[in-house]
Amino acid sequence: MEYLDERDINLYTDGSSYSGPRRGGMGVRFVTTDEAGVEHGEDFPLSGYDGAANQQMELAAPIEALKAVVRGSAPVQKRDYRRIVVFTDSEYVVNGYDGARFSWQSNRWMTRDGNPVAHAVLWK
């Protein structure tokens, strides 16, 4: 069982894509825990995108959620918490995170194979 810290904003994110016609969607749920350990969750509506692939939506979901926190349009206020923890089921996002932070920028957004990083705009 996972215990959430009451000092954190917990973001649960997911992205998806429907192939015919191609349309991407995303889901975000904000979860906080009060001092008694009771979890409070609220879904955050996000619109989809025509022509988007699944990996784009997996990246866009946490990006849009973080933007909402910064803008103050999220159902929680960042000043009340010490950090934001992102949970995702996307191996693409989890495995690409360090590359985006440490390698790709210095490699001019090219992979080890010499190919351009897919969805570099979103990773940036």
E strands along the chain, which residues?
A: 8-19, 22-33, 39-44, 49-50, 83-88
Report the pLDDT value the prediction gives residue 28, as an integer from 0 to 100: 97
Q: Is the dihedral of CA 50, 59, 14, 67 positive or negative?
A: negative
Is 23 a residue whose pLDDT tops 60? Answer: yes
Q: Is the dihedral of CA 70, 74, 76, 82 positive or negative?
A: negative
The owner of tokens 């692939």 is 53
Strands 83-88 and 8-19, by their bridges, are parallel
Name the pTM for this structure.
0.88
60-64 mean pLDDT: 96
